[in-house]
Amino acid sequence: MYIMIQSETVIGSQSDLKPNTKNGVIILMSQVYKVFLHTYGCQMNLYDGELVGSLLQSGGFQLISQPEEADVILINTCAVRDHAEQRVLGRLRTLGALKSRHPQLVIGVLGCMAQRLGEDLKKQVPTVDLVLGPDSYRSLSGLLKDQLSGHHGYLIGCSGNPQETYGDVLPTRREGISAFVAIMRGCDNFCSYCVVPYARGRERSRPPDEVLAEIQSAVEDGFTEVVLLGQNVNSYHWESTDFATLLIAIAAGVKDLRRLRFMTSHPRDLSDKLIEVMAEGGIVCPSLHLPAQSGSDRILELMNRGYTVSQYLTKVEKLRARVESLALSTDLMCGFPTESETEFEQTLNLMRTARFDDAFTFKYSPRPGTKAARLKDDVPEEVKIERLERMIAVTRALADESRSRMIGQKVEALLENVSPREASEWTGRTRCGRVILVPGAFRRGDIVNLQVEAVRGFSLWGQVNESQIQVE
């Protein structure tokens, strides 16, 4: 089935084919298998999807966008809330029906849910052929080849390399102007509600030179903006380089990068040094995602977050005082076990005091294996729903106020696409990350100076006062 040249490497279930064929292995398959990959979840998972795409292409597979034509369908999953897992299970059952019409179809599950459930996933959805966790993707091509050549039944690989960073794999990025670059993987925080440390393993950082090289390569491929990713970027460290130092090194060492963002920051680890780097500006954008989770000290302690509300607010005050035009977003949860009405109202108060520009709000969802799952999930579902609705209402009001405050301000917009609603307008983002609509004809990647004149729904609207087409 396979012709292999220039190497004696045996293609087996654990074959470890690095991209760029560094080891000199070139593999020609008599048939090029088509893979459809769909990713759910957070930015880190999207980035992992891009790594998987690269590993598969190096392994001789072709990525396609139509599941009906695929030999292999891979679902890259999220496990952070039960709802996310239920969606994946529904999707897998639908794919099972497709498989009954195409028995040769290989169905694989990747990502956090694969790692969390392992064998149990096969029990729940027998049509699944392959289950692979986030640290095991180097074996994916080899395992798929085994599957496709009929050598193996069900395969599972969830005991990957706990130090894996895929440092030598250049992701196959989607078209656009903004590239994700992971600077670390895993998490050591063990917030009591969170499945991530179990699904993604212990924290590990990538060396700065590797990060800089990946960013430079993204810029050379036409990306203007880079978003650095990590579960807790503030605990990034490599020898004497901490996160703030890494930002300085990127700003100094990468040529032609226009904008640098990062996520996610843990409030406990956000340093004064980082605030000063953000205050300096330059390519570091004034947008920060700083999950607060709750406005109650007792609930924060139960969550094992490592800060109090007043410590959180002190950081917010420093940020607002030092970083001009900062857009601050957050994650908040309601209905954590034992949360009282008064404690929930403290979360609403925190939202107003911190004046969040945006917030992602969630109902607590117990995750098996976490510390919080041992507590009784005692806030009734209807109370959780009602609290969530109140958080959403406050979020909307704060976001509306935040956008209205921008009217009259001069901003710089990086233009991304023709507006889907109005062909004579382009959509872009301000440096603080807000969506802005701009009338006129432009090219993707143009950077223009604007005056914000109005708010249109969830977007700003502005006119060009001086345009500077980006120097290539």
CB of 48 to ligand SF4, least distance (A): 14
Q: Which residue number, 61 or 364, has a Cβ lying nearer to ligand 5AD?
A: 364
Minimum distance, C-beta of residue 366 to ligand 5AD, in the bound complex (Å): 7
**C-beta closer to ligand SF4: residue 92 or 359:** 359
Say whether residue 196 binds ligand SF4 (CB under 6 A).
Answer: yes
Residue 108 as a binder of ligand SF4 (CB under 6 A): the answer is no
Q: Is 189 in the site for ligand SF4 (CB under 6 A)?
A: yes
**121 contact, one of ligand 5AD, ligand SF4, none, CB 5-8 Å limit per kind:** none
Among 187, 316, 327, 406, the residue binding ligand SF4 under the rule CB under 6 A is 187
Task: Look up residue 202 and give its two tokens.
Answer: 């212990």
Q: Is 270 in the site for ligand SF4 (CB under 6 A)?
A: no
Cα(136)–Cα(149) distance, rounded to whole angstroms?
A: 21
**Measured at CB, which residue is nearest to ligand 5AD?**
331
Give me the least distance between CB of 316 and ligand 5AD, in Å please: 16
Residue 183 touches ligand SF4, criterion: CB under 6 A: no
> 280 vs 331, which CB is nearer to ligand 5AD?
331
CA-based max dimension of the chain: 69
Nearer to ligand SF4 by Cβ, of 208 and 267: the residue is 267
What mask of x and - would describe binding to ligand SF4 in positions 230 to 269, judged by CB under 6 A?
-xx---------------------------------x---
Q: How many residues bind ligand SF4 (CB under 6 A)?
A: 10
Least distance between ligand SF4 and beta carbon 293 (Å): 8
Subset of residues 301 to 320 that bind ligand SF4, contact rule: CB under 6 A: none
Q: Which is nearer to ligand 5AD, 116 or 122 (CB)?
A: 116
Return the ∠ at Cα 195 (arms to 369 and 343), rounded to 5°. Answer: 95
The CB-of-381 to ligand SF4 minimum distance in angstroms stands at: 22
Footprint of ligand SF4 (CB under 6 A): 187, 189-191, 194, 196-197, 231-232, 266
